[in-house]
Amino acid sequence: MCQVVQTSEDALTTRLLQATIHTLELYGIYLGKELGLYEALKFERRITPPELARTAGIAPRYAREWLEQQAVAGFLRVESTTAPAEARRYWLPAEHTNVLIAEDHPAHLAPLAQMVAGIGGALQRVVNAYRSGGGVAYPHFGAAFRAGQAGINRPAFLSDLVARWIPALPDLHSALMSTRMRVADVGSGAGWSTLAMAKAFPQAEVVGFDADPASVHDAQRNAAAHGVAVRFEIRDAAAVAEDGPFDLVLVLEALHDMARPDEALRAIREALAPGGSVLVADEKVGDHFHAPADDLERLMYGWSIVHCLPVAMAEQPTAAIGTVIRAATVQALATAAGFPRVEVVPVDGGFFRLCRLRAQ
């Protein structure tokens, strides 16, 4: 028997074909979220294309094609493939609900599709930035990316932050539970981390800061919808000291996006009350560059080349860190900003490495 040996060229062509299929399927997920199609399929409801069209308010022909694509991809189930096209009944299996619908669940990865869609809308600007050496400001990635970034971080920020990350620092947790601390959430985005802190530690005064007006408006809407009285300000990290002093400053998945993170950390240090701390959560990449690398490293470099680095390059001068912010980089930035102590928090942060910075 002859054994077929796959060449490296064959392997790469197969990989690119699979990548194309997966990317197009992400766009299908984006449509499902954007148009409320998954919501129409909640609770394993079995639905025909005309019923989906009426429920979601979309054109019937598009409803049929989307349902067929989702079934072909294996995201939805279909009762009978031989039934007439308009009479086929589709449903979302229970084991896919958390991934595609349950916004607070750790398995909810559907927002990745929104992030990819947002990058697609800004990709020509990224091309132009590569040629000019400039950057692409965050607002150019649009509402899709903003919603996706907020959505992908939402489970960790609502739950892990207050249930595991803060308790991993017993002195800080105890103080938050027993005293009226002032907390600043720098780069608060849609506000999920700010809201979580305010709800978990009602004695604390929690303020969210973000330089992006649209993100602050999203945060204010989320606070109102959840009945949490917190303040959000359109300010960058350099302006936080104006509202200080703070006993705790959170910088959650934001440091690597800053054009001048050393200046931001210096301003944050000036905003700290005596004995105050900074909690930084950023990407848990390897300590050193290596290639080829694991999926996490590949994922972070993927975001970096099309989003995080162009965003950082939109302001000049810039440190131009990109998504792949290694532990030594965090240490160097903290030291340059005047923090003599940087401690890695002993907790599993998932995609994140957590560091505590202290000025004393």
Task: Kindly report, residue by residue over 224-260, the tens digit of the pLDDT.
Answer: 999 999 999 999 888 888 898 999 999 999 999 999 9
Maximum C-alpha span of the chain:
76
Give percent of the chain above pLDDT 70: 98
Residue 262 above 90 pLDDT?
A: yes
Higher pLDDT: 5 or 118? It is 118
Q: Contact at 8 Å (CB) between 193 and 252?
A: yes
Both 265 and 173 in one domain: the answer is: yes
What are the two backbone dihedrals, phi and then psi, of residue 182, each rounded to the nearest 5 degrees?
-105, 130
Both 274 and 326 in one domain: the answer is: yes
Strands (DSSP E) found in the chain: 77-78, 90-91, 182-186, 205-210, 231-234, 246-252, 272-283, 341-344, 352-358
pLDDT at residue number 2 = 54
Q: Please give the Cα distance from 217 to 184 (Å, whole number).
A: 17
Both 63 and 127 in one domain: the answer is: no
Both 171 and 320 in one domain: the answer is: yes
Both 36 and 126 in one domain: the answer is: no
> CB 33: neighbour CB atoms within 10 A?
22
Higher pLDDT: 7 or 54? It is 54
Both 64 and 213 in one domain: the answer is: no
Preceding amide of 292 cis, omega within 30: yes
The band of 311, judged by pLDDT with boundaries at 50, 70 and 90, is very high
**Count of domains in the chain?**
2
Residue 2 lies in a domain: no
pLDDT at residue number 43 = 84
Q: Please give the Cα distance from 92 to 114 (Å, whole number).
A: 20
Q: Three-state SS for 275?
A: strand
| Closest of 87, 91, 79, 74 to residue 38, by C-alpha | 91
pLDDT at residue number 7 = 80
pLDDT at residue number 359 = 86
> What is the span of the domain harbouring residue 314?
111-358
Q: List the 182-186 sheet strands across, edge first.
A: 231-234, 205-210, 182-186, 246-252, 272-283, 352-358, 341-344
pLDDT at residue number 239 = 85
pLDDT at residue number 241 = 86
Residue 69 above 60 pLDDT?
A: yes
Mean pLDDT of 161-179: 97
Residue 323 lies in a domain: yes
Residue 276 above 70 pLDDT?
A: yes
3-state percent helix, strand, coil for the chain, nearest multiple of 5: 55, 15, 30
Both 17 and 142 in one domain: the answer is: no
The β-bridge relationship of strands 341-344 and 90-91 is unpaired
Stated as kind and residue range, the H or E segment containing 98 is helix 94-100
Q: Please give the Cα distance from 261 to 254 (Å, whole number).
A: 9
pLDDT at residue number 16 = 97
pLDDT at residue number 226 = 95
| Closest of 126, 120, 114, 153 to residue 311, by C-alpha | 126
pLDDT in tens, 128-148: 999 999 999 999 999 999 999
Q: Please give the Cα distance from 231 to 167 (Å, whole number).
A: 24
Both 124 and 153 in one domain: the answer is: yes
The CATH number given to whatever domain includes residue 87 is 1.10.10.10
Mean pLDDT of 304-332: 97
| CA angle (293 as vertex; 288, 297 as ends), nearest 5 | 75
Both 89 and 127 in one domain: the answer is: no
Quote the mean pLDDT of the chain.
Answer: 95
Residue 297 lies in a domain: yes
> CB 14: neighbour CB atoms within 10 A?
11
pLDDT at residue number 4 = 52
Residue 5 above 60 pLDDT?
A: no
Mean pLDDT of 284-313: 97
The band of 101, judged by pLDDT with boundaries at 50, 70 and 90, is very high
How many CA within 13 A on the CB side of residue 66?
28
Helices of type H across 207-326: 213-226, 261-271, 295-303, 309-313
| Closest of 275, 268, 273 to residue 254, by C-alpha | 268
Q: Three-state SS for 19?
A: helix
Residue 61 above 60 pLDDT?
A: yes
The β-bridge relationship of strands 182-186 and 77-78 is unpaired
DSSP assignment, residue 288?
Answer: S
Both 182 and 86 in one domain: the answer is: no
> CB 149: neighbour CB atoms within 10 A?
23
The CATH number given to whatever domain includes residue 276 is 3.40.50.150
Mean pLDDT of 46-64: 97
Mean pLDDT of 321-330: 96
Residues 6+ apart with CB under 8 A from 207: 182, 183, 184, 185, 194, 230, 231, 232, 233, 243
Both 274 and 150 in one domain: the answer is: yes
Residue 293 lies in a domain: yes
Mean pLDDT of 298-307: 98
Residue 171 above 60 pLDDT?
A: yes
Handedness of CA 250, 256, 262, 264 (dihedral sign): negative
Residue 3 lies in a domain: no
- pTM surpassing 0.85? yes
pLDDT at residue number 3 = 59
